[in-house]
Each structure stands twice: as C-alpha cells, then as structure tokens.
Amino acid sequence: MTDFSPEFFEGVKQSITNGKIAYLNQAGLQVERMERRHVVNRLPVEPSHMNHVGIVYAGSYFMLAEATGASLIKCTYGSKYVAIIKNAALDYLRPAKTDLVVDIAMTEEEAKLRIAYVEEHGKGQYPLDIPVRDADGALCANVHITYYLMPSKA
C-alpha cells in the first residue's frame, strides 16, 4: 500500500471506523470525504452522544475533532509521522442537538509551511484549529489541538 493510493485512504478511514481505538469504533463516526489534504467526518448524534441536559456531550466534540485532525495529518503527510495529543482546548459557541460535522483542509503550500519545523527536527508540535459545525452548518465550537508528531515506525 503506497501513500495516497485509494487503499491508503481506505486504511485511514478504517483506522477511525474499525481500528485499534475501541471508543472510535463504537462512536459511529462516518467518513464523508477523505482525500489528499482534505477530510470531512460526521458524528451522528445518538443517545450515547447526548449529555444530561439534552445537548451533545463535550467528549463527543473532542473525539470528532481529534480523530478528524489526526486523519488530516495522515492524509497530508502520509505514513511518515504518528500524531499524538499534546493538548487541546474547546471553545463552545452554541449548543448542538444534531449531527456534528468537521470539514478541514489545507493547501499544499500551507502543508509545507506547517510541517517545516517537524521536518527540520524529525519531530515536534503541530497545532490545528478545528471548527465543529452542526448538521445545518452553524459553527458550534472551535477546537484547538496541538498534536505531537513523531516518526512512524511503519
């Protein structure tokens, strides 16, 4: 399997829908688009994603944003790096009661600029700002995640 082949993208998709992280497998994430430097994931809001006051649970926002951001990194740089979380912050703008959607992309130029430090040092921090929208497209939260990229052993 070569990076950026149809099989590569299918493997990235499977890693968040039927992979090593049981919580992701159970969450029901749906991959709507997965291509070079562009990922769209949807989280169908089921009872397991609702909190005690009838809105989407904070952990569900985080899980969707984190998995989508990590997928974008993989779909941008291939298998060269492994992304892990260094820190995250969620800025809630409005409650959601419907599906959540994350649609993130970057240009080739942006991708080159963003990875420069990591390429120079072999590892390093990689911050991403990830907007989370509801099914109608309203911005519900901004999630800032700093990933730490390490060389892949694969």
| pLDDT given for residue 153 in this prediction | 84
What is the domain partition of the chain in residue ranges? 6-151
CA 117/CA 106 separation, integer angstroms: 17
Distance of CA 63 to the CA centre of its chain: 8
Q: What is the mean pLDDT of the chain?
A: 95
**71 or 153, greater pLDDT:** 71
The percentage of the chain sitting over the pLDDT mark of 70, rounded to a whole number, equals 98
Our CA dihedral for 110, 115, 117, 118, rounded to 10 degrees, sits at 170
pLDDT band at 21 (very low <50, low <70, confident <90, very high): very high
Distance of CA 76 to the CA centre of its chain: 12
Q: Is the pLDDT of residue 154 over 90?
A: no
Please give the CATH architecture assigned to the domain spanning 6-151. Answer: Roll (3.10)
Q: Is the pLDDT of residue 93 over 80?
A: yes
Q: Are 100 and 130 in contact (CB under 8 A)?
A: no
| pLDDT given for residue 3 in this prediction | 87
- Helix, strand, coil abundance in the chain, percent, nearest 5: 40, 35, 25
Neighbouring-strand partners of residue 105: 38
The CA distances from residue 31 to 13, 42, 80, 116, 154, in Å, are 7, 6, 22, 28, 24
User: Under the phi-then-psi rule, with left for phi > 0, alpha for psi from -120 to 50, and beta for the rest, what region is 21?
Assistant: beta
pLDDT tens readout for residues 99-147? 999 999 999 999 999 999 999 999 999 999 999 999 999 999 999 999 9
Question: What is the rounded average pLDDT of the residues 14-21?
Answer: 93
Alpha-carbon Rg for the chain, nearest whole angstrom, is 15
Tell if the pTM clears 0.85, that is, is over it.
Answer: yes
pLDDT band at 91 (very low <50, low <70, confident <90, very high): very high
